[in-house]
């Protein structure tokens, strides 16, 4: 019911769905810039592909700050209806999570996969890039929904105001640190793989699964902890 309500409200509000055209233009410009990078060697192309994960993550985080972080605040002065209803706020926030997760995942995978196809990267790097940006999408969405519930702003005149609050700034700082950590974790295994494949260096790859495991654990924390705290914050919120 929450999913259907939010979907209808999104497409009824021209200030919301019209920004999808801006997102489309952003994707075109992003991919066009990647296509025109002066890269001459396959090693350099694969290196840029790893850095591209971080760039796509920054774009994703900025989009989430506008839509995902503001998702709870968009209930506005009608939040009293949610507050007084027999609704578990944990399920309420998970509905918000899945409402935005899949569209953001499509956006993120489009940016990364299209960029990698244009760069002509190795299949291993392609798989790592797609998997990492999926993890980043999960973490950024969970963080956005959770912090949006911790720092709601229901008395706005324009929903765009929510993205300029101190809570939104906190969200951006944490998400940037998380994205940087994710890129750092996958850079090591990719570097070892490229050295072994392109330069025949014979480096050990045994630690790769450890880094991917840490990435999965950090992502799970980024989702579960903010949503848990956000649900408790809404339960204690005084109208």
Q: In the numeric block, which tokens belong to residue 235?
A: 């339960």
Please check whether residue 229 is in contact with residue 146, taking contact to mean a CB–CB distance below 8 angstroms: yes
Please check whether residue 104 is in contact with residue 63, taking contact to mean a CB–CB distance below 8 angstroms: yes
The answer to whether the Cα torsion of 78, 66, 144, 117 is positive or negative is positive
Please check whether residue 182 is in contact with residue 102, taking contact to mean a CB–CB distance below 8 angstroms: no
Distance CA 227, CA 32 (A): 36
Note the pLDDT tens digit of each residue in 7-32: 777 777 666 666 677 777 777 777 77
Distance CA 144, CA 25 (A): 23
Note the pLDDT tens digit of each residue in 165-215: 889 999 999 999 999 999 999 988 888 887 777 666 554 555 778 888 999
Tell me whether residue 220 is exposed, middle or buried, using C-beta atoms within 10 angstroms of its C-beta: 0 to 12, 13 to 18, 19 or more. middle
Q: Which of 161, 149, 169 is nearest to 15 (CA)?
A: 161
Note the pLDDT tens digit of each residue in 31-45: 777 777 766 677 777
Distance CA 29, CA 17 (A): 20
Res 139: pLDDT = 96
Please give the residue that has the higher pLDDT: either 224 or 160: 224
């Amino acid at each position: 019911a929450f999913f259907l309500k939010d979907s209808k409200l999104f497409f009824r509000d021209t200030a919301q769905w019209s920004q999808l055209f801006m997102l489309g233009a952003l994707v075109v410009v992003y991919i066009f810039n990647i296509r025109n990078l002066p890269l001459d060697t396959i090693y350099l192309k694969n290196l840029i592909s790893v850095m591209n994960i971080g760039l796509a993550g920054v774009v994703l985080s900025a989009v989430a700050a506008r839509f995902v972080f503001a998702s709870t605040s968009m209930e506005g002065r009608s939040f009293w209806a949610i507050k007084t209803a027999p609704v578990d706020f944990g399920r309420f926030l998970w509905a918000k999570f899945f409402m935005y997760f899949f569209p953001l995942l499509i956006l993120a995978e489009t940016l990364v996969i299209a960029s990698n196809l244009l760069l002509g990267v190795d299949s291993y790097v392609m798989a790592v890039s797609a998997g990492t940006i999926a993890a980043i999408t999960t973490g950024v969405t969970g963080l956005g929904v959770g912090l949006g519930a911790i720092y709601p702003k229901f008395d706005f005149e324009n929903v765009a105001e929510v993205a300029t609050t101190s809570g939104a700034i906190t969200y951006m700082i944490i998400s940037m640190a998380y994205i940087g950590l994710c890129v750092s974790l996958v850079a090591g295994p990719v570097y070892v793989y490229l050295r072994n494949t392109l330069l025949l260096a014979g480096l050990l790859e045994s630690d790769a699964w450890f880094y991917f495991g840490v990435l999965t654990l950090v992502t799970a924390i980024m989702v579960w902890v903010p949503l848990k705290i956000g649900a408790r914050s809404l339960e204690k919120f005084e109208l």
